[in-house]
Chain A
Amino acid sequence: MSSVHTHPVSEAELLLWADGELSGAAARRLQQHLTGCADCRADLEHREGLLRTFAQARERLSPLTASLPDRWEPLETQIKVWEARWTIASWITRLHEISRPRYYALAGAVVVMLAVIAILFQPWQETVSANELLRRARLAQDENKRMTPGAVMHETLLIRRLSANRERNVTTDYQSWQDGSGHLLRQTLSSREAIAELQRIYQANNLDWQSPLSAAAYERWRSSFTARHDSVASTENNRLTLTTVLGSWAAGDAINKAELVVRSADWRPVITRLWVRDLEYEITELDSTVATLSQPGPSLALPLAAGAIPGPQLAGNAQIKAKTAPSLELLNPLQDAGFSPSALSLPAEPVALKPAPAADEAHSAVVTANHPAYPDAPPGPPSAPGSPMDAVITFAGQGRISSQPIPQSQLPAVTVPTIFPVNVGGPHYHSHVSLPCVKALAGKLGLIKKKKDGPVEPAKPGG
């Protein structure tokens, strides 16, 4: 999703205006613009109206989100537990009960020690050095991947480009999926053209485009300059900001100033800002999830073999509508069955896809997976649709299912579901499974239309 604001007022100014917090020349300019621009007036009224509707509707929605607890533990209980652990008075009391001479000796030693610590380490109480911040941030980013076998890191970022020339302001999405070794599995960008410049900047400055918030890459870039000034500041919302300003202002794609914002609690980077020429880029983390194939998570794509991503032959402007959320649940049996991402293979030939289907039309595409224990399993591209070896689950726009029955006796030994998304311009789904297994999976995913009476039935075969 990309937006380029072409009006001489920014969305931030509209927000401040709505709250009555815009004043002076900016307020006069905005008022003048609103007087003459019906679009901005309508957008403003529409947004505030929708927000009011949500605020009112939220009361009706609340029973569906959660019931309020029947009983609240008094805050006093939590306070007493905390005080029992940390109150100095309680420690002093306990020491006093040991013996008076020892108490006075220990108390004196503690006071001296605390004074020394306070004098020597006062700066560390508020902030840390740039090196320490980057070290901890790097460890935090590596920690989950090391601890989780077969981890896949999914990152969703919001990328904004700001310029003195408002017409160059751009906002876009960025998503990436990486395996535990940092290998990029899939990457999407809602507005590739608008961010091609940022990608070039990353490459020119030896940053990691596959991991735009990488602390290791920031550290690498920073350490390549001796003439620089670093500062670390803490903010009220428990975050630390490292600012690096280079000694000289360079032209071209060179980064002259950069910031890395990390959360104080876990040292994870959440924002990166880069200043290049007259542009400022801000990359904000919207979501960051680490999961294994056995754990469902939002928008997780299955890992692919390195470099083996052929493009499909699309007829016209074909697009595939797919449900990524259900596909995550389908990855569980794949992992449980022992399928390894490295064993996956893509069709030798590009998959032929149909034009964009109508609402009720099923659409299909197939790829296969090889289990390491069954080297003779059906390899490569599938046989023609309707063959005895195929059982295909298709995901159409309405979530209908179509399947082609196959003789049970002709199924391969591995009858676990092998449904997964493939990065060939959009998720595709395929399954080499028995019909009963197809039905069971489709039922579990809610893909089969349930009739009030009678058994579950798939839609008529399509594709």
Chain B
Amino acid sequence: MSDLNLDVAQPTTSGLSAACGSLSVTAREVAGRWYREERECIFRYLVSLGTSPSEAQDLTQETFLRLYITLRKRKPLENPRAWLFTVASNLAMQNKRWWRYRPPACEEDVARWMRSEADPQGTPEQAILHDEVTNRLQAAVRGLSRQQQACLQLRAEGFRYREIAGILGVSLPTVAEFLRRALVKLKKAMNE
């Protein structure tokens, strides 16, 4: 799906309800398709910004509801995917009850997951190294600020740097600075 511009004929006064109905159906279809395809990406992005999973699910649905409302207003969206992440970013930043969310994963759970992820073909030393690197990376990622997390996640979602700047509402040099600091922390974690 690329640009979105619902081309619906101007309704006449007598056909207002009917025209609203057809516009609504079209917007429903489009918003529904985006919802099915992108909701998990939006959800994961919101959690990476520090939103709890339950709130992230609510905000994800709010994001796509706003997409539907925007489509009904027949506002053109040149980059719908970037628009979705922009709305999600704004909702996360405005969440006044936001605190940096730390999942209650205890050490045993982490160790169990690590063992399940280990390559059965690899040597024990490789498995240990894999665990250590992932563990350090996980710790480093948790230490990033919201903006740094957002830049990494948006880049991992395939957005261009200019799009990331637009989504976060900052300048391109600011995005460069966020990324530079985030990568310094990650590099340090990987090399320790």
Pair A237/B167 contact, Cβ less than 8 Å: yes
Residue of B56, B160, B176, B190 touching A19 (CB-CB under 8 A): B160
Residues of B within 8 A of A (CB): 16-17, 20, 24, 28, 31-32, 35, 39-40, 43-44, 47-48, 53, 56-57, 61-62, 64-65, 68-69, 83, 86-87, 90, 93-94, 99-100, 103, 105, 110, 113, 117, 134, 137-138, 141, 145-147, 152-153, 155-156, 160-162, 166-177, 179-181, 183, 186-187, 190
- Nearest opposing residue in chain A for B156, CB measure: A55
A-B contact pairs, 29 of them (CB 8 A): A3-B180, A10-B176, A12-B173, A15-B161, A15-B179, A19-B162, A50-B187, A51-B155, A54-B137, A54-B152, A54-B155, A61-B134, A64-B138, A65-B103, A66-B47, A68-B44, A78-B68, A79-B68, A82-B69, A160-B174, A235-B169, A237-B90, A237-B166, A237-B169, A238-B87, A284-B170, A286-B147, A287-B147, A298-B100
Q: Which residues of B contact A271 (CB under 8 A)?
A: 169-170
Residue of A53, A75, A156, A171 touching B64 (CB-CB under 8 A): A75
- Nearest opposing residue in chain A for B24, CB measure: A83
CA–CA, A286 and B152, complex, Å: 15
Within the complex, what minimum Cβ distance (angstroms) separates A61 from chain B? 5
- Which residues, 220 to 279 on A, are CB-close (under 8 Å) to B? 235-239, 261, 263, 265-266, 270-271
Within the complex, what minimum Cβ distance (angstroms) separates A359 from chain B? 13
Q: Which residues of B contact A50 (CB under 8 A)?
A: 183, 186-187
Q: A50-B183, A54-B186 are in contact. Are A236 and B103 (CB under 8 A)?
A: no
CA–CA, A160 and B170, complex, Å: 12
Is A16 on the interface with B (CB-CB < 8 A)?
yes
Residue of A19, A57, A239 touching B161 (CB-CB under 8 A): A19
Within the complex, what minimum Cβ distance (angstroms) separates B23 from chain A? 11
Pair A78/B61 contact, Cβ less than 8 Å: yes
Pair B177/A11 contact, Cβ less than 8 Å: yes
Residue of B56, B160, B190 touching A21 (CB-CB under 8 A): B160
Pair A51/B113 contact, Cβ less than 8 Å: no
Total number of A residues with any Cβ neighbor in B under 8 Å = 65
Pair A57/B134 contact, Cβ less than 8 Å: yes
Within the complex, what minimum Cβ distance (angstroms) separates A313 from chain B? 32
CB-CB contacts of A27-63 with B at 8 A, as 1s and 0s? 0000000000000000000110011011101101111
Q: A55-B155, A69-B53, A79-B68 are in contact. Are A15 and B169 (CB under 8 A)?
A: no
Q: Which residues of A contact B65 (CB under 8 A)?
A: 75, 78-79, 82
CA–CA, A338 and B89, complex, Å: 38
Q: Which residues of A contact B64 (CB under 8 A)?
A: 75, 78
Q: Which residues of B contact A12 (CB under 8 A)?
A: 171-173, 176
Q: Which residues of A contact B161 (CB under 8 A)?
A: 15-16, 18-19
Pair B44/A51 contact, Cβ less than 8 Å: no
Q: Which residues of A contact B43 (CB under 8 A)?
A: 66, 68-69
Q: Which residues of A contact B138 (CB under 8 A)?
A: 61, 64
